[in-house]
Chain A
Amino acid sequence: MARINFGGVVEDVVTRDEFSLEKARKILKKEVVAVLGYGVQGPAQALNMRDNGIKVIVGQKSGSPSYDKAVKDGWVPGKTLFSLEEAAERATIIQFLVSDAGQMMTWPSIRKHLTKGKALYFSHGFGMVFNDQTGIKPPKNVDIILVAPKGSGRSVRINFLNGSGINASYAVQQDASGRAKERALALGIALGAGYMFPTTFKNEVYSDLTGERGILMGALAGVMEAQYNELRKHGHSPSEAFNETVEELTQSLIRLVGENGMDWMYANCSTTAQRGALDWKPKFRKAVEPVFRDLYKSVKSGNETRITLKANSAKDYKKKLNKELKEIHESEMWRAGAAVRSLRPENWKKK
């Protein structure tokens, strides 16, 4: 296990050099891995594991578009492609990769095939951590493990095929067989992970829900809107307000931050930008700290889960949701964005 220093805190990271594909295949030699759900993560993990020589079957409701996709990807009905339930029955490791809402619905039919010695695998801790709400309560005599690749299904597949690999986190919630950890690590390597970071089911969910509600989407969209509106209020044109708020961020700045870090960015901008950004950073932090405090509390208490599950189960949710999405789509800011994007040099060359 490689011990890597993250800014003074040492973490144990498993690499594919120490935990080789050979080793993973040995550990999984007698296992049948069923990937339930051929949606987003399902195809990537199933295809990669099969390409690494693991015995994989797919469980997916027949007649669905995802089922047709599975057939086109070389899964053979009755041989390697089954209904969710039949795949769960045949498996020794059940990868529960249907959507969060779908997990609740299908759980009772999966539950009965979770017999002694099997493993239940997740790529997201949601269903387990909030199982007082989702009802996903596995028996004591099975392993409960998690591997969460840090990327979309597509990038999990692309990074596997080009030979680079993808980072992932892993966790063990329940070790009934004594092999839970090696099973998790072997599955991680088999699906193409290069580095694996330890986590827990709770930490995976809490950080994931906080991240997407916070800086990745909720906070990002919120602060963008606030700045855009302020610029507009003072008479700046939509194109100018958008350029200074979004375009410069996405087209140049964030890439540099990705490559070199925010510390580098601070050290390598104009003196005017530097002084101001240094002075305003603490003010913004102070302003949003209470919001993040509330957010984490709401995630941890299960409140966020309650809201999500309740909304998703409402009959008219799709309609309401579309209305909300339409509002964003038709806002001046994002319409201005569409116009600005079409004027990028690489786009006008294409015309």
Chain B
Amino acid sequence: MAKPKAFVSLEDVSIEAFDRSLMGATHGRVLFKELSWEMRENEQWAILGPNGSGKSVLAEVIAGTHPVTKGKIVYHFPQDKIAYVNFDSQKSALGDGAFLQDRWNIGLREDAPSVSDFLSIPILRNKTKYRDVIRDFGLQPLLKRKLIELSNGERRKVWIARALLKNPRLLILDNPFEGLDEDFRKELPKILTRLMKGHITLAYVAAEATMIPAGVTHILRIDDDGSVSYGTRKEMLGSGKRERMLPKSTKGRKSIGRILVQMKNVNVSYSGVQILRDINWTVRERERWALFGPNGSGKTTLLSLILADNPQAYANDIMLFGKKRGTGESIWEIKKSIGWVSPELQLYYPHGATCLDIVCSGWFDSIGLYRNATVDQREIALAWLQRFGLAEHAATPLAELSEGEQRLVLLARALVKNPTLLILDEPCQGLDTAYRTRVLEAIDWVAKQHNAAMIYVTHRADELPKSITNILRLDKKQPRSSI
């Protein structure tokens, strides 16, 4: 039997991580040494590895956007037929000047590209394909929106759709299911399976085996010690685990704690699009809320009202920590009581900052460190890094850490001041089991130890901390709350 033809070949390749925020490549830690591996035609691959194992860098190497320090990589097809989607690549398309609260600051908006601008790729001539992709991904309602206005989950959908529109031979998806809501998480594997039956070769990159799409035939696994093994799916895996469903409601409990957040008939809309409709919601001391809702249902916008990041808070009836918005409070007084982490924070935080400085910026609620932290503050910050096993990276720029490690640094930033209210917007997105367990344990510990109230956003049941007491579910059409 003739062996299938080679598709991508890595020949004795050595790879180092480097800091992308600096001009030119500086040498970083060695991730792979003399790795030889081949993807053949008609094979579909999953690349698995825990956070920080270098799986994303390996994906970049295959995509041709990260140099190898030794050996070579050979493509047996035109190299411009590679489409690569990862979390990092999203920022560049948003423009150099984009900032965290851009979504909600309309008066200062500069001309920004819309979703349909972004999806209009010159090399794309196939109108049927465009229509199919827009339909499969449910993007019709988003086409006129600005990229900057999309939610984390919507943005991820648009990025994957764009990659498909390029008509790639090789499609590399780094953690594509992260940030997607339950419905689309079921839909995407079907789309991918269809594509694999067509002419696309998939390289699916993830921390864990749970979500590997059905059509994947081969697996490359990077272990904790950095060793690489690969083989057929059957050789590499036993039977997969099934995903749990999100709970519909919790037992709930009568709470009599002080009111921290109170919203009355809150409405937010932009250019005729109603993002939030008549929200009534009260969060009290010691309550731990799970916030659910499909992509684009307004979860992050709702949180931005509490975080004092959204100017429309002034046009609504919102009480925060005993004071009505717009009665002489400053946003810094509000932020002082809140510890917060979100995919957007990770996207926009300057990646050249060192880990210790980032954790210290939690004391000042600043994005970047612009004031001198005291010795005590630095010590506490370092203790949090230690708790997450990142003390050795105190002086390392964020850019040199993996996505999962970056999350832990930002989580430490949120926890460092023992906040009254913790707002955790998909804190486990992109984390492997080991990291997820550490994060959830830390969250439960803080909630218990300091009686912090919590609002926790996730699309996944296995990412829910034990301490959840209440649930708010946002609907795309008619938000309603249940207790």
Contacts and interface: CB of A to CB of B under 8 A. Distances in A.
B312 interface: yes
B415 interface: no
A80 interface: yes
A157 B105 CA distance: 9
Given A73-B106, A154-B97, 18 more contacts: A21-B332, A43-B105, A43-B108, A44-B108, A47-B311, A50-B311, A51-B308, A69-B106, A70-B107, A72-B312, A73-B105, A74-B315, A154-B110, A157-B105, A158-B97, A164-B368, A164-B370, A165-B370
A240 to B, nearest CB: 23
A53 B328 CA distance: 4
Nearest to A55: B328
B480 to A, nearest CB: 25
Interface in A28-70: 38, 42-44, 47, 50-53, 55, 66, 69-70
How many A residues are at the interface, by size bracket? 20 to 34
A163 B65 contact: no
Contacts of B328: 25, 53, 55
A346 B95 CA distance: 12
B92 interface: yes
Contact of B364 (A161, A163, A350): A163
A291 interface: no
B25 interface: no
A75 interface: yes
B33 to A, nearest CB: 27
A300 B367 CA distance: 42
Interface in B72-119: 92-93, 97, 99-101, 105-110
B1 to A, nearest CB: 40
* Closest 6 pairs (CB-CB, A-B): A163-B366, A43-B107, A74-B311, A72-B106, A162-B367, A74-B314
A293 interface: no
A79 to B, nearest CB: 9
Query: Would you call the interface of chain B mostly helix, strand, loop, or mixed?
Result: loop
Determine chain A's interface SS by DSSP, over half rule.
helix
Contacts of A233: none
B239 interface: no
Interface string A222-233: 000000000000
B107 A72 contact: yes
Interface in A72-129: 72-76, 80
A238 interface: no
A75 B99 contact: no
A25 B308 CA distance: 18
Contacts of A21: 330, 332
B128 to A, nearest CB: 23
B313 interface: yes
A115 B366 CA distance: 40
B329 A53 contact: yes
